[in-house]
Amino acid sequence: MLQFDTTYLNRTANQTPRAAVPGTRPLFVVWHETASPRPTNPYGTLEYNLSPRARSSYHYLVARDGTIFHYLDPRIAIAWHAGVHDQDGSPTQVDIAGTHYRGFAVNAWSIGVELDGACDGTPISSAQRDGANTLLHYLHDTFAIPLERSHHLMHREITAPSYRHDPRGYDIGALLAEMPAMHHPRPDIGLYSVDVALANVREGPSTIYPVALHGAARFGHGAWLQVDGILNGEAIEGNPWWGHLVSAIGFIWMGLVVRVR
């Protein structure tokens, strides 16, 4: 169960009320590292970003001990974390799912997460790794942000390297790659029921395989399926497990079914 430290929640003046920019919502995440001179003590950056002089903020901070501070609520506040311009005056910009965001729009459509660290290449702690994983799942569950690299950017990827080079203590792609095993334990073989309107059976454990030609290829909601084998295949929404079906001679992504017995 995710427990936030809310000591600093919604206290900073460095924010734009979401209501002031109607129609925006959190769509992707920008990951940072604080570059704190004393990363073992997160209170420095938490206090610093209360000051209007800082002109910066974020939504969440994961401390070295794994504590997750909720700093601004993404539902009601746009944080100032990804910058509007770099030093040359060129705007921060990013493409997400075919849409281009630049300048303030990057902040308006994103969630800012800081991992406390010196930003000198020292790896994040294992407690921070666990905290970041927990947060990834929370953001997926709460804001429907896909657990895919396309929706998780590192600050240094969207701004001039001369301006911001964080994070350096972790790679968000590596954290995402660790997730399937952590959050989707290998399911058991047995009897399952289709939990979507229509589920395809494929010739292999990935959507690159065609829908199975042998036997029944599609099953409607509520259909019972006997799964006699589990394979590690294409990870969809972080879930890599595919079940082999005796009846249809093919494979079904286990995210489409629920256990009957």
Nearer to Zn ion, 136 or 256 (CB): 136
Are the CB atoms for 169 and 33 separated by under 8 Å? yes
Nearest approach, Cβ of residue 206 and Zn ion (Å): 35
Nearest approach, Cβ of residue 125 and Zn ion (Å): 19
Nearer to Zn ion, 158 or 256 (CB): 158
The span from the CA of 83 to the CA of 249, in Å, is 53
Residues that bind Zn ion (CB under 5 A): 32, 155, 166
Nearest approach, Cβ of residue 67 and Zn ion (Å): 20
Nearer to Zn ion, 82 or 257 (CB): 82
Residue labelled with tokens 């494929």:
202
What is the DSSP-derived secondary structure letter of residue 57?
A: -
Q: What is the signed CA dihedral for 86, 89, 92, 95, rounded to 10 degrees?
A: -150
Nearer to Zn ion, 82 or 256 (CB): 82
Which 3 state secondary structure label does DSSP give 243? strand
CA distances from 130 to 43, 117, 183, 240 (A): 20, 15, 11, 20
The span from the CA of 185 to the CA of 187, in Å, is 6
Nearest approach, Cβ of residue 166 and Zn ion (Å): 4
First and final CA of the chain: distance in angstroms? 27
Nearest approach, Cβ of residue 163 and Zn ion (Å): 10
Nearest approach, Cβ of residue 165 and Zn ion (Å): 9
Nearest approach, Cβ of residue 210 and Zn ion (Å): 44
Give me the residues paired with residue 198 across strands: 220
The span from the CA of 55 to the CA of 250, in Å, is 56
CA distances from 37 to 53, 120, 140, 167, 255 (A): 19, 10, 31, 14, 44
